[in-house]
Amino acid sequence: MGTWDYSVFWKETLSQINNELTEQEFTMWFNMEYEMSQESSITISVPSGFYRDQVQQRYQKILEAKLYELSGQHISLVFEVKPRKKPEVSEHTPEKNVDTSSQNNNVDTKYLSSVQKNTEKPQKQESHPQLRKEYTFANFVIGENNTFAANAAIAIAKNPGIAYNPCLIYGGVGLGKTHLMQAIGNMAWTEGESKIIYISAENFTNEFVESIKNNKTQDFKNKYRNADMLLIDDIHFLQKKDSTQEELFHTFNALYDYNKQIIFTCDRPVSELKNLSERLRSRFERGLNVDLQPPTYETRCAILSKKTDARGVKIPQEVLNLVAKNISSNVRDLEASLTKLIAYAELTKKPVTLETAQQQLRDSFGAPKQNNVTIEVIQKVVAEYFSLSFSDIKGKKRTKAISFPRQLAMYIAREITEYSTTELGIEFGGRDHTTVMHGCQKIEERLKAEPSLETTIQKLNKLIKDYNS
Ligand code: ADP
Ligand code: MG
């Protein structure tokens, strides 16, 4: 036995890392415990093999570099898997919040007493009755917009009740909340977890009301309080449903005390929910809160490719790119457009071309057509935005400082008005329609290379819309 003790260095390393990472990232991966020091190493325990692999891959180098910086010695980190033990008797845990900002390695005690999952459970073949079997991680495309949420979800699926409990996934409509939540359920299910309940907050409410009506509240309580994993979708629905909130609060406590995994989704951050009891809000906010953002252009292309492959159809890449470019709001709309194109191809038995795609998807593409917007307004707003004169935009000068805003104005006019390229050409100083098409193309190319241009266009659109009001 040596007499080395590097625990101070370890503590300081953690505290520095905590300052450098986002709170989410730190909470997610730094559930580590200092075990012991040896001559040139520190042993750290983590709750599972999955954690060990992830942490080694992500942080080992950084951590060792910090240790070296602080101690002046090469100290290596040895990660040891030490499943956290289940409490003997699960007595009532007092209310407390997870202190994600704690600067030491005293991780949440609730977490420390988490259950070690029984790995002997049989793998299941048949699918879960409430979960859609295609909502898997394999079918979920990971992009910048959702990396953190997807990683958290995988960690939870691999260590239900051990990793992050509860977990709340929030984000706008059609961004994959339900998919991700069910992917966790599906993975846990195939790995042998049996009592998984998935339910929308709406159906949870209806069932609860029904149980009161039929004098069956005890059955209701038994069902939900005995789950091993509870997935409740769209909790924003619970606003103003006071007695359901109350019931969910008790369900939550019962499951949480037994380290059962609880996952919620919501269409906005919990802090923005109104008409929600404070105590339930604090339960939702406990644990890990992760958000889903709208997918970037690249991710949208990847999603479309994946979905066409999955359906076994061939659609030219340029068509997929066109759809990805025009439908940026969410994944559900992307899928709907794709379905429309596939249906068209099947019905007409013709391949989908750029032209047919434009035609078929005209209504879903771009900003809604604003008929009362005149080309003149667009030209004025764009000119002003780029500190040019109105006549510059319409005129013949072709310096870069002028031709880019001019092309942008053409592009916007093409997007938000019904004018043809010929009409636009006339309005833009008597130009040929091919010049207008060329201008729009230039902007489209630039949009691909610099997504920030999209923000400029959105700003201009807003200015145009507000011009007359
Ligand atoms: P939400 O619950 O956030 O409204 P959903 O989970 O219902 O959204 O997702 C809408 C559709 O988009 C689903 O068909 C889902 O499979 C798909 N989807 C969402 N995100 C992704 C993704 N990252 N990769 C693949 N498909 C996705
Ligand atoms: Mg949903």
- Digit-coded pLDDT (tens) for 23-48: 767 877 888 889 999 989 999 998 77
Question: Which numbered atom of ligand 1 lies nearest the CA of 143?
Answer: 23
C-alpha of residue 199 to centroid of ligand 1, in Å: 17
**Ligand 1, atom 5: closest residue by C-alpha:** 176
In the chain, the percentage of residues whose pLDDT exceeds 90 is: 54
The pLDDT, as a whole number, for residue 81 is 86
User: What count of residues does the chain have?
Assistant: 469
The pLDDT, as a whole number, for residue 97 is 37
The CA-atom distances, in angstroms, between 3 and each of 8, 13, 76 are: 14, 21, 17
C-alpha of residue 101 to centroid of ligand 1, in Å: 32
Model confidence over 409-431: pLDDT tens digits? 999 998 888 777 877 888 898 88
Around ligand 1, the residues with Cβ closer than 6 Å are 139-141, 146, 171, 173-179, 303, 331-332, 335
C-alpha of residue 202 to centroid of ligand 2, in Å: 12
Sequence-distant contacts of 312-317: CB under 8 A, at least 24 apart: 313/342, 313/345, 314/351, 315/341, 315/342, 315/345, 315/352, 316/351, 316/352, 316/353, 316/354
Q: How confident is the model at residue 168 (pLDDT cuts 50, 70, 90)?
A: very high
Cα–Cα distance measured from residue 231 to residue 134, given in angstroms and rounded to the nearest whole number: 17
The residue type at 71: S
Q: What is the pTM of this model?
A: 0.63
What are 426's two structure tokens? 């006339």
Model confidence over 230-267: pLDDT tens digits? 999 999 999 999 999 999 999 999 999 999 999 999 99
The pLDDT, as a whole number, for residue 236 is 95
Residue 171 clears pLDDT 90, i.e. is over it = yes
Residue 181 clears pLDDT 90, i.e. is over it = yes
C-alpha of residue 266 to centroid of ligand 2, in Å: 8
Residue 239: CB atoms within 10 A of its CB come to 13
Model confidence over 312-343: pLDDT tens digits? 888 999 999 999 999 988 899 999 999 999 98
What are 330's two structure tokens? 């969410």
Question: Which numbered atom of ligand 1 lies nearest the CA of 145?
Answer: 23
**Interval 446-466 mean pLDDT:** 89
Residue 466: CB atoms within 10 A of its CB come to 9
Cα–Cα distance measured from residue 106 to residue 31, given in angstroms and rounded to the nearest whole number: 9
Cα–Cα distance measured from residue 117 to residue 468, given in angstroms and rounded to the nearest whole number: 63
The pLDDT, as a whole number, for residue 24 is 67
Query: End-to-end CA distance of the chain, in Å?
Result: 79
Write phi, then psi, for 339 (nearest 5 degrees): -60, -40
**Interval 280-304 mean pLDDT:** 93
Quote the distance between the C-alpha of residue 171 and its chain's center.
Answer: 7
From 332, 334, 337, give the residue whose CB has the most ligand 1 atoms within 8 Å, as the site to mutate: 332
Among 21-25, 117-121, 448-452, the range with the most confident prediction by mean pLDDT is 448-452
Residues with CB under 5 Å of ion ligand 2 are 177-178
Cα–Cα distance measured from residue 71 to residue 67, given in angstroms and rounded to the nearest whole number: 6
Cα–Cα distance measured from residue 445 to residue 448, given in angstroms and rounded to the nearest whole number: 5
Q: How confident is the model at residue 366 (pLDDT cuts 50, 70, 90)?
A: low
Per DSSP, 272 falls in state G
